[in-house]
Amino acid sequence: MSAPAKDLVETPVLAVEGLSTAFRQQDGSLRTVVEDVSFTIGPRRTLAVVGESGSGKSVTALSIMRLLPGRKSRIGGSVRLNGEELTTLPMDAMRRIRGNDVAMIFQEPMTSLNPLLTIGYQIAEVLIRHRGMSFAAARAETVRLLEKVRIPEARSRFDEYPHRFSGGMRQRVMIAMALACRPKLLIADEPTTALDVTIQAQTLDLIKSLQDEEGMSVLFITHDMGVVAEVADETVVMYQGKTVEMGATADIFANPRHPYTRALLSAVPKLGSMKGTSAPSRFPLIDPATGRQRENQSPVPADSEMRPRAQPVLEVKNLTTRFPIRKGLFGGLRGRVHAVESVSFSVQPGETLSLVGESGCGKSTTGRSILRLVDPTAGSVTVDGKDIRAMKPAELRRARRGMQMIFQDPFASLDPRATVGSAIAEPMLTHGAASRSGVRQRVVELLHRVGLSAETAQRFPHEFSGGQRQRICIARALALEPKIIIADEAVSALDVSIKAQIVNLMLDLQQSLGIAYVFISHDMAVVERISHRVAVMYLGRIVEIGPRAAVFENPQHPYTRKLLAAVPAADPSRRTMRRASGTEADIPSAIRPVDYRVPELAFREVGEGHLVLQG
């Protein structure tokens, strides 16, 4: 960890000096998005560039590769790769460096591969281009690379197309492609952000072990402090296009100097930070300008622990949702997706129950089934003593007043052509919950509640940032004074500091209005903050449910343990990822044959209200 001194002696693989990037605006003026950024990466070292959206970290990477549109951008400063200046290189020479000396992997494995070309060809193309190999030689080498990134049955998968691969597998293909020519530098732009935690752990582990084998340097771009702590030797913190702090990763985590770094670190949810408490707790927020604590930091008081014997506001019993798979000439039933299988839980007024799990585990379908946005196959959902499943359409509409939903993407869940005011007013008007004259007053009230000003009502969604939009969505959900809000990955798309603010807002609202939340999330650290109780889902089933403290401090089911172990610790002094996780397969699918008989589910009680699926 004390390598910086040694770096001064060795020639750096990459030396960036005074890099500035500006984009040409519509009116011809230049807007600077990266300003005077400098750093060096030594041989075999990993440097992380960390920052929130708009901090210029991705633009920095694309500037190094000169992948920005030439007519619309201007790059200044110097980028030297092993002493060779890249910014002034002719384009032809630059192309010989891309994919050869410097390779890059991107955030979105689902869209970063060409859907119409086989994955084998896409890797072989690099070898043919830079190594001048024949197709046969490139093919053999590609199979070797696929094996190296641990893709099972590499030889037969050469001719498959990307859509047959899961996100994690596609990212491995991208890594194989990047490593094809043994580059000296790998630029990884948020390579694990779109992946599930266990897959993220595998992918980070793979990058690290390949880095050791090949002796590459890595420039790692991420917004996730947990990932930084896990992988980086040195860290550069970027804020609004500028470097605000730079140094050895351990130093930055131990003694952040710049106020923004402190704000960023304080907003990072750290797994295990809630040990010994049972109530949810707000994030301590720090002002990025002053470095001081911004808000009154009282934790949610103990009396917010719900009265245990109250009548539950929501009771779900044996909820099962399956989707038929039809194929063939007459659309015959070929199988079923067992999306939700015998899920039971109850939620008390003012309580937060979190549903956690990885993609495809059925947590979102559970949320939608509760509101009957998809029709469940079996089971009962009782809200305020009434069974949602037995309701006629008109009754169901009335019942939905009491339960609202907040979705993941605040950009897609607001109508771009409706003003914020009318978006919030609409549910009240449809349900006749307020008169036309009263509704305006109510909208203003709601906006104040979520921390927005009254004049927000006249503006349109595109004028707001992601965090502000999520506040608007929350105001809309509150309009009908629901007893329960289902928040489906409501903070997952937000930057850490914004995420912390929205979580705090949700906790405040729960405290003052007594709302119950079903908080659907894959993010264990946020779940730890916000929940009273937690249900862990895997393949459509709840495998473990109980009070948050019990599940996090005494996890019983192997999957819960695996999930908790995969979360990066945001602490460079205890890197948690193990080499062992590398070869495990993807999350299995919940598709079953038609005649599949669901095994009986049996739970074992390990503590008060703490149940674990057996077998």
Summarize as ranges the residues that interact with another protein (CB under 8 A): 65, 67, 95-100, 103-104, 106, 108, 111-117, 125-126, 129-130, 161, 163, 174, 177, 327-329
Nearer to another protein, 31 or 326 (CB): 326
When computed from its CA atoms, the radius of gyration of the chain, rounded to whole angstroms, is 26
CB 177 to another protein: min, Å: 7
Exposure letters 432-451 (e unless 16+ CB within 10 A, then b): ebbeeeebeebbbebbebbb
Nearer to another protein, 115 or 393 (CB): 115
CB 494 to another protein: min, Å: 22
Tokens 């590398």 belong to residue = 582
Structure tokens at 142: 């590609």
Instruction: Give me the amino acid identity at 26.
Output: Q
Identify the three-state secondary structure at position 555: coil
Is the CB of residue 571 less than 8 Å from the CB of residue 249? no
CB 47 to another protein: min, Å: 19
Q: How is 113-175 classified by DSSP, letter by letter?
A: S-TTS-HHHHHHHHHHHHH---HHHHHHHHHHHHHHTT-TTHHHHTT--GGGS-HHHHHHHHH
Nearer to another protein, 97 or 493 (CB): 97
Handedness of CA 112, 114, 119, 122 (dihedral sign): negative
Q: Return the axis-axis angle of helices 496-513 and 259-267, rounded to nearest 10°.
A: 50
d(CA 321, CA 13): 54
Apex 148 CA angle, 147 and 153, nearest 5: 15
Nearer to another protein, 99 or 421 (CB): 99
CB 191 to another protein: min, Å: 13
Is the CB of residue 51 less than 8 Å from the CB of residue 239? yes
Would strands 30-41 and 84-85 be described as parallel, antiparallel, or unpaired? Answer: unpaired
CB 507 to another protein: min, Å: 36
Nearer to another protein, 177 or 520 (CB): 177
CB 512 to another protein: min, Å: 43
Nearer to another protein, 21 or 364 (CB): 21
Structure tokens at 493: 């798309």
Q: How many of the other CB atoms lie within 10 Å of CB of 463?
A: 10
Neighbour-count burial of 359, counting CB atoms closer than 10 A to its CB (0-12 exposed, 13-18 middle, 19+ buried): middle
CB 558 to another protein: min, Å: 35
Tokens 């949700």 belong to residue = 506
Nearer to another protein, 53 or 422 (CB): 53
CB 96 to another protein: min, Å: 6
CB 219 to another protein: min, Å: 13
Nearer to another protein, 23 or 161 (CB): 161
Is the CB of residue 80 less than 8 Å from the CB of residue 15? yes
CB 283 to another protein: min, Å: 32
CB 119 to another protein: min, Å: 11
Nearer to another protein, 119 or 271 (CB): 119
d(CA 322, CA 366): 11
Would strands 378-383 and 386-387 be described as parallel, antiparallel, or unpaired? Answer: antiparallel
Would strands 314-327 and 234-239 be described as parallel, antiparallel, or unpaired? Answer: unpaired
Nearer to another protein, 192 or 521 (CB): 192
Structure tokens at 79: 């980028």
Largest CA distance in the chain: 76
Nearer to another protein, 98 or 471 (CB): 98
CB 197 to another protein: min, Å: 23
Nearer to another protein, 70 or 593 (CB): 70
Would strands 46-50 and 234-239 be described as parallel, antiparallel, or unpaired? Answer: parallel
